[in-house]
Structure formats: C-alpha cells, structure tokens
Structure 1
Amino acid sequence: MSERLKTITPAKGWSPDSWQHKEASQQATYPDELDLERTLRRLSNMPPLVTSWEINALKEQIAEAQAGRRFVLQGGDCAELFDECVPSIIANRLKVLLQMSLVMLHGMEMPVLRIGRFAGQYAKPRSSDTETRDGVTLPSYRGDLVNSPEFTESARRPDPSRLIQAHSCSAMSMNFVRGLIDGGFADLHHPEYWDLGWVEHSPLADEFHRIADSIGHSVRFVETVTGRTPGSLKRVDFYTSHEALHLGFEQALTRQVPRQWGWFNLSTHFPWIGMRTANLDGAHVEMLRGIRNPVGIKIGPAMTRSWLKDLIRTLNPDNEAGRLVLIHRMGASQVADKLPPLIEAVRETGSPVLWVCDPMHGNTESTSGGVKTRRFANIVSEVEQSFEVHARCGSRLGGVHLELTGENVTECIGGARALDEEDLKRAYKTTVDPRLNYEQALELSMRVVQKHRSLT
C-alpha cells in the first residue's frame, strides 16, 4: 500500500446499504418490490464491470490532472439505449473521443485522460415523476435502466429485468472497447484508423489530417532516435463513467476485493452525482461517501459556497488527491458571475479538486416549435469563459465533460456547417438531451486547444 493511501481512513458509519436510511430522490417506483429485490440479489452475484486496480489507476491520473499534468476529456451519450449496443455505434463513440484527444494532445502538449460517458449511462434524472400527453399521465422515462421511452403504459412501467440487461450491455460495450484498444485500434502510429466516414467531407478534414500526420511523424522520429518501439504508443488508457442515479443498482455492484481495504463501486470507474441528487444529507451523497472510486459532483448556478464546502468535506474529508472532480455547468450567460465565488470557496477547504467544464446542460433551450436543442456558439462560449475565469482566479480548468455521439445527428444548432432549426428535422435521434455530432465535437476540441494556448 502506498504512503498516500495509508493516510486515507474508511468513511465512518458507512456501509453499502447505509444510503437506505436517507432520503433517496430520483428513484423509480416499481410495481413489484419483491421482483426488484430478487433482481438486485441476482445482480449482486454477477461479475463486476470494472476492477479495483483500474479505479486506482484512474485516481492516480486524476491526481496528475489536478496538478496540471493532464487534461481530461469526458464524453459520450446523454442516455445510452440498449438497442444501440452494437459494434458500429460503440466504435464510432470511441473514434470521436480518440480524435478529439488527438487534437488536444497535439495542441496542448500534455497527456489527455479519456473517460467515456458510456458502458453504463442508462439512467437519467427527470424533473417530474410523471409525464402527461393529451390527457394521459404515465411514469416519466428514466432511461433504459428503468423503462422504455415509448409513451405506453407497458413501456413506461419500471421493469427490474432491465437492471440485468443494463449490466449485460455495459459488459459487452466495455469488453468491445477493451478489445479494440488492446488490438491496436488506438495505435498512435496509425491515427488514420480513427477516421469516421464523414472526415473527408468535413470542413475540418484538412486540419485533422495535418494533426494526425504530424503525430505520426513524431512517433516515428522518436522510434528512429531511440531505436525502440514504445509499446505505450500502441494503446491508450480508457475509463468509463456514468451518473450514479439508481442506488439499488449501484449498491449491488459495490464490492470488497482481495488485498484491498474498503469498498469499490465496480459498476464504473468514475461515478458522479448531479445537482438534483447532491443533497448533503441525501442518499446519493451517502452512497458515494464510502466508496474508494474517484467521484464527481455536477455544480450548477444554484450551488452555494457553504453547500459546496460541506459536500467537499463529506466526500473528501482526508483531502485525498485524485478523489474529487467538480463539473461546473452554469450556462454561457452565468458562468462569469457564478463560478468565481465557488472557486474561492473550494480553495478555502484545502482539498485538491479537478475542475471540469460541462458546457452542455446549462445551455439547453427549446425552439419555437418546442424542440430541445443547444447552440454551438453558447457551448463554445461557456468553455472559453471557463478557461478565462479560472485563469483570473488563480485556478485551472482541467477538463471538459460533453454529451456527444459519433453519429451524423443534427441535434445542436451551429458549428462548421452552420446547422439551423430546419436541420434539426433531418437527424434528431436523441431520447433525452441534444448531443454534439462528430463534426461539432471535433471543432470544439480545436477551440479548446486555441483557448488553452492563448492563456499559456
């Protein structure tokens, strides 16, 4: 055990089920509680989805990012669908993240920590327990982990068997990603393998190929000079994340492991909680309090200095490096005012944190026709303002958290092709929130690099 880990103490009065004594928000109401209990018992005996040593490795890399030696790229679907657990979609999600990280690695001249918002992002919080259409009221769609998006009584009924299906889809997705990476899919000798079919038709194609060629030449130069072929250049580290929303599911996959102290949530490498579930005395904070994973907290405009400081003291009482990630999502119109006081409050706690910008959730709006979308210009603006705010406050923005897809969707307005409201009709596929498409995601990574360079 390292000297750093020896100083960390287990959470007092915590157990995997201690959250059950707290108020649990955003939980589905199952019509058959006995069926749910049977399913959770079965789930608790199924293999874990990740390992403790992967979690510890991620925590070490987050600690490096906190110290300014890495930049974090976290991205993926707003809500995964069981029907999209297919090779092409999984591979395209990975490709777009690899392409973005390639741009950042080249432009920021530092390692990029890649965290997928997939292989488990099957649950979603909702503002209401029910939804009404044409006088008919049904349970809200809470993600494929709980029910189906179709507006029928049978589809919206929470079904415990979906917990097993979510485990299966997560395992298959992660296994496929691991296989791709271990097989050389992410080999820096051949970044051209990461191309999606769209690249040659994109206004960004020339710039991406220039970056890819430059890295390829650099890799070959290092090998020529050293006379060695670094194995680390043939693969990358890749981690999973999801919102820890369904507490029964999270508990069932929280385990003790041989030769390690404490408890690990083995459903994902990196769980986070949102503003809706960040109640200091709530069940979600209690669940995350006792696990050894690095954990994230989404921070919106309603977050107060005292609330944030109390959350930090609760979730990271020993000021452990690599433990805590703060993901702010203020909106382009509020980030300049709302973020500085929170940066100062965190500094007063003495806790190391990694600051990450989520420019998606604070910039959601509806068109005149009632279609939910996000403007690319606002997304870029929030990222750029966040870099500036952190620089002014003597802090550092260490990553971005994005909802994106490797598919050719039209859900966000703007970007290199100047998508407008009419384009939303063409390929609007999301069941919950609008996502950046491959082209917008790649353009955003270039804008991140430009802003980073302007401040360094």
Structure 2
Amino acid sequence: MNAQQDAPVDSWRGLPAAQQPTWPDEQALGGVLSDLAAAPPLVFAGECDQLRSRLASVARGDAFLLQGGDCAETFDAVSADQVRDKVKTLLQMAAVLTYATSVPVVKIGRIAGQYSKPRSQPTERRDGAELPVYRGDAVNGLEFTAKSRTPDPERLKRMYHASAATLNIVRAFTTGGYADLRQVHDWNQDFVASSPVGERYERLAREIDRALAFLQACGAQPREFRSTEFFSSHEALILDYEAALTRRDSRTGQWYDVSGHMIWIGERTRQLDGAHIEFASKVRNPIAVKLGPNVTADEALALIDRLDPDQEPGRLSFITRMGAGRVRDVLPGLVEKVTASGAQIAWICDPMHGNTFTAPSGHKTRRFDDVLDEVRGFFEVHRELGTHPGGIHVELTGEDVTECVGGGADIRLDDLAHRYESACDPRLNRYQSLDLAFQVAELYQDRIVTRDLPRPATELLAAD
C-alpha cells in the first residue's frame, strides 16, 4: 500500500487494531498513503534521540516533564496566534516549574499531530438520525451531516500539512526570541497581578525576579535565556498514517516514526496482542502508554517487556490517568512492582481524563479541584515510596475558554456555554493552566523538603 509495506514496522498489519476508521474507498486511501510515504519527515531521528535523552533524566529523577496542549487539534486552529498562545502558556508554566523544582523542565506539546481521537461508540444519534462518530479532523468533520461524518483519507494529507505548518510556527517562536526567559517571567508577573488568586504566588514570583536580577547583574546571558527546546507528541492512533511516516535512519539503520518526537498509546488501544503495541515496539521514538485505574501491575510489567525489554531510561513513560478518587489506591502497587523490576520508567500524571463528567447543560467538563487533587495524590504516592513524580500531562489551551469549572477565575457550571470551543474534551484555560503550574511547583517544593524521609520502593518490598 505504501513504500514502507515490507518494513519491519509493518508487522502490526493483520493484528487486531482498535479505533481505526472504516475508510469507504481503499483505493483512495492507498493513494494518500503512497503520497505520505514519499513526503519529507516532520521531525528527525536525531531530535527523537535528544528527547529520549531528556526523558532519561526524568526517569532518573533529574528532570521534570511538562506535556500539554489541545485534546484534539483542528485544521481551523492552525494560525500563528493560536499556536503562539499555546506555546506561551506552556513556556509560562515551565518557567515557574523550572525555578521551583531546580531541575530542567522538558517541554512537550500535544501538538502538530493530535488530530484524531478514540471514541467510546462508533456512531452517534441525534434527532433520530445515526451517523459515524466524529473521530477528529484527521478522519471526518464535526458537523452532524452524512457528508461531513464520512471518513475521508484526504484528511490524512491535510493533517500532515497542518502538522508541518504548526511545527514551523513552534520552531520560529521557540528559537527566535519569543521564548526569552525574561519575557516569559514578565508574562507570569502580569498573571500574578491580574489573576484573582495571584496574591498566592507573589512570593514565588518575587524569588524568580530576584534570581533573574542577580544573573543579569553578574552579566550572565546564557543561550537558554533566549531560546528553548520544545518537542511534539501525539497519540499514535491511526496506524496507516503512522506507518506511512516511518523512516529508516540513515545513521543507524533503525526505524523512527517521523510524525512526532514522542508517540503514545492510549488506554483504549494498549492491548498486548494488538496492532498499536506491536507498531510502537518497532520504532525507536520515545514511547508512552496511558494507564487507567483498571490496569494491573502484571499488565504494566508486560508492557515493559514488549516496549522496553532492555530497560533503557528514556525509552518508555507511563502516563497514569486514575481519577482523583482512585489514584491513591491504584498507583502505589504499580509503582512498587515496576520499581522492583529494575525498569527506569518516567512516571507522568494525566489528571484530566479520569475526572470528566457531564454537566446538566450537556457539556463534558472537569473540576479544577479534582484535577489538582489527582496531581496531589500522584505526588503523595511518590513521596511515600521514595520515587520520582516525573511530570504532568495536561489538556490545555492558551485561550480564555470556559470548559473546565473552578480555578482562580471561578468558572461555574452555568458559564460553560459562554466559550466552550473544544472539538472533543474540555481543556484548562490560560488562567487555570498557570494556576495549576504554581500549585504543582508548591507540591514539588514540599517533596524536596521531605525527600529524605521515605525508603525506596525496592527496600519496602524487600522488607515485606
């Protein structure tokens, strides 16, 4: 079907592949995939290697990961202003976290590829009509019409071009002076001054201000002040697209999925005998797997055997999405068993997906307090076990939307319809995202104060 047909990464074909679209025209799909197989890479193997090295630091406890962006990107949102606002929000969060943690913060966007979403049902009913469910702009349209909801493989090419345009904008912003640390700090000072809860963070903002003033007085002008590393990631959901964008690295002969620096496998597609795990096992990119509250420690260990058999730091991350009410019960057993196995996994908290509910208005939403409580539980578990809370994975936007309730802006259920713009799941807005960053910074500082108290998980298991 494409130039990669005989590659080792095509071993997934013929295995059960969950959440794949039913394309009505196989010939048209084949033509699109052939075009994609001949297209230039969106990212390069060396960049993926660099991210794997950064994630190895996260796994060892020497760095912290901030991963965030849209639930589902849309083609209409590929503009310099909208991409800039997302990048700006992540840079602001990273500046706060870098100072508070005293370790490098690895910045990864859910960006330039997050155009498809797994869904609970294959179809949707409205007013007696039943149509295919919206699976993201990579597959079909949001409008509830037969034409819009019919999967169209030409959209895969649109996803490629939209991703390329987004990456160009991101690279321009992160290397062209927009990411200057002093400018980012000025933005955060504006947040502290204008946010209803800004006074909570004045102390930390003043400390950062004094640190920057000291460095400037010393004449320190490091390159990192003016630019920053920024990586892209998305869920590797549509396997035809991912396989078409897989290339053999001329340096090493190994295979890389050049659609993004990191790819992850979702909770709905992580079957050990399924196509998604098989595909991920064949590429050299950093890989992450989402783990929900029903995962077992044995399943986690089996995923390590499939995806990281050499137990290489930086290769595999587990993104836990337990829900605020389950994280303290489920996570300890997973972390204990994985740590005892010797695997060096980066543990990341996704506090969004386990805390979704439907408001009386019909909008899907999340409570900021629930999001924060899951992060707090994540830190508590790692503090008790003596392991490293590696980072957070958050659905967010740089826009002032009203999709999640609570937070410093005190969005209420009645406010959701005011600016509910997500194509799929609710996102934290700019103020809520920065509010979360400051509170995570406080949690990390508390961890530093008490880090000598717990015993490592391996010692706890030995004692048992």
Q: TM-score normalised by the shorter chain: which range applies?
A: over 0.9
Per the TM alignment, residue 186 of structure 1 is displaced from its structure 2 partner at its CA by 0.6
Aligned to 1:154: 147
Aligned to 2:462: none
Q: Is the 8 A contact 1:66 1:398 kept in 2?
A: yes
Aligned to 2:410: 418
Specify whether residues 255 and 370 from structure 1 end up closer, same or farther in structure 2 by C-alpha distance, changes over 3 A only.
same
Per the TM alignment, residue 68 of structure 1 is displaced from its structure 2 partner at its CA by 1.1
Per the TM alignment, residue 219 of structure 1 is displaced from its structure 2 partner at its CA by 3.9
Is 1:358 aligned to 2:350, yes or no? yes
Q: Provide Cα deviations, 1:29-57, integer angstroms capped at 9, x if missing partner.
A: 01101100110010010111101111111
Task: Give the residue type in structure 1 aligned to 2:20.
Answer: Q
Aligned to 1:9: none
How does 1:284-433 map onto structure 2 within 5 Å?
284-433=276-425
Per the TM alignment, residue 215 of structure 1 is displaced from its structure 2 partner at its CA by 3.9
Per the alignment, in what secondary structure is the counterpart of residue 275 of structure 1?
coil
Per the TM alignment, residue 345 of structure 1 is displaced from its structure 2 partner at its CA by 2.1
CA distance in structure 2 between the partners assigned to 1:128 and 1:205 by the alignment: 42
Is 1:35 aligned to 2:28, yes or no? yes
Per the alignment, in what secondary structure is the counterpart of residue 444 of structure 1?
helix
Aligned to 1:191: 184
Per the TM alignment, residue 235 of structure 1 is displaced from its structure 2 partner at its CA by 0.8
Specify whether residues 130 and 325 from structure 1 end up closer, same or farther in structure 2 by C-alpha distance, changes over 3 A only.
same
How does 1:65-84 map onto structure 2 within 5 Å?
65-84=58-77
Q: Is the 8 A contact 1:375 1:412 kept in 2?
A: yes
Task: Give the residue type in structure 1 aligned to 2:334.
Answer: L
CA distance in structure 2 between the partners assigned to 1:349 and 1:21 by the alignment: 32
Per the TM alignment, residue 275 of structure 1 is displaced from its structure 2 partner at its CA by 1.2
Specify whether residues 336 and 182 from structure 1 end up closer, same or farther in structure 2 by C-alpha distance, changes over 3 A only.
same
CA distance in structure 2 between the partners assigned to 1:193 and 1:185 by the alignment: 12
Per the alignment, in what secondary structure is the counterpart of residue 255 of structure 1?
strand
Q: Provide Cα deviations, 1:254-299, integer angstroms capped at 9, x if missing partner.
A: 1012112310110000000111100000000001001111100000
CA distance in structure 2 between the partners assigned to 1:249 and 1:193 by the alignment: 41
**Deviation larger for 257-266 or 139-148:** 257-266
**How many corresponding residue pairs?**
443
Gaps (5+ residues) in structure 1?
1-12
Per the TM alignment, residue 368 of structure 1 is displaced from its structure 2 partner at its CA by 2.2
Per the alignment, in what secondary structure is the counterpart of residue 86 of structure 2?
helix
Paired residue for 1:23, among 10, 16, 21? 16
Q: Is the 8 A contact 1:181 1:235 kept in 2?
A: yes
Is 1:202 aligned to 2:202, yes or no? no
Q: Is the 8 A contact 1:373 1:412 kept in 2?
A: yes
Aligned to 1:85: 78
Paired residue for 1:59, among 49, 52, 59? 52
Q: Provide Cα deviations, 1:65-89, integer angstroms capped at 9, x if missing partner.
A: 1111111000000000000001110
Q: Provide Cα deviations, 1:294-347, integer angstroms capped at 9, x if missing partner.
A: 100000011112111111110001111110100000000111111111112212
Q: Is the 8 A contact 1:185 1:194 kept in 2?
A: no
Per the TM alignment, residue 224 of structure 1 is displaced from its structure 2 partner at its CA by 4.3
Q: Provide Cα deviations, 1:169-196, integer angstroms capped at 9, x if missing partner.
A: 1001111110111111111132256569
Q: Is the 8 A contact 2:189 2:205 kept in 1?
A: no
Q: Is the 8 A contact 1:190 1:216 kept in 2?
A: no
Q: Is the 8 A contact 2:372 2:436 kept in 1?
A: yes
Aligned to 2:461: none
Per the TM alignment, residue 450 of structure 1 is displaced from its structure 2 partner at its CA by 1.1
CA distance in structure 2 between the partners assigned to 1:443 and 1:323 by the alignment: 31
Task: Give the residue type in structure 2 aligned to 1:453.
Answer: Q
CA distance in structure 2 between the partners assigned to 1:386 and 1:228 by the alignment: 36
Give the TM-score, by structure 1 length: 0.93
Q: Is the 8 A contact 1:52 1:266 kept in 2?
A: yes
Q: Is the 8 A contact 1:240 1:269 kept in 2?
A: yes
Specify whether residues 396 and 197 from structure 1 end up closer, same or farther in structure 2 by C-alpha distance, changes over 3 A only.
closer
**Deviation larger for 347-356 or 24-33:** 347-356
Aligned to 2:96: 103
Task: Give the residue type in structure 1 aligned to 2:420.
Answer: Y
Per the alignment, in what secondary structure is the counterpart of residue 355 of structure 1?
strand
CA distance in structure 1 between the partners assigned to 2:360 and 2:428 by the alignment: 20
CA distance in structure 2 between the partners assigned to 1:426 and 1:345 by the alignment: 46
CA distance in structure 1 between the partners assigned to 2:371 and 2:423 by the alignment: 20
Paired residue for 1:268, among 257, 260, 281? 260
CA distance in structure 1 between the partners assigned to 2:279 and 2:7 by the alignment: 8
Task: Give the residue type in structure 2 aligned to 1:125.
Answer: P
Q: Provide Cα deviations, 1:91-145, integer angstroms capped at 9, x if missing partner.
A: 0000000010111112222211100011110010001111111221111111000
CA distance in structure 2 between the partners assigned to 1:222 and 1:89 by the alignment: 32
**Deviation larger for 106-115 or 120-129:** 106-115
Q: Is the 8 A contact 1:147 1:162 kept in 2?
A: yes
CA distance in structure 2 between the partners assigned to 1:249 and 1:228 by the alignment: 45
Q: Percent of counterpart pairs with the same letter? A: 44
Q: Is the 8 A contact 2:357 2:364 kept in 1?
A: yes
Per the TM alignment, residue 206 of structure 1 is displaced from its structure 2 partner at its CA by 6.0
Gaps (5+ residues) in structure 2?
1-5, 449-464
Specify whether residues 216 and 187 from structure 1 end up closer, same or farther in structure 2 by C-alpha distance, changes over 3 A only.
farther
Per the TM alignment, residue 369 of structure 1 is displaced from its structure 2 partner at its CA by 2.9
Q: Is the 8 A contact 2:349 2:391 kept in 1?
A: yes
How does 1:122-161 map onto structure 2 within 5 Å?
122-161=115-154
How does 1:224-239 map onto structure 2 within 5 Å?
224-225=217-218, 227=219, 229-239=221-231
Specify whether residues 192 and 68 from structure 1 end up closer, same or farther in structure 2 by C-alpha distance, changes over 3 A only.
closer
Per the alignment, in what secondary structure is the counterpart of residue 190 of structure 1?
helix
Specify whether residues 324 and 396 from structure 1 end up closer, same or farther in structure 2 by C-alpha distance, changes over 3 A only.
same
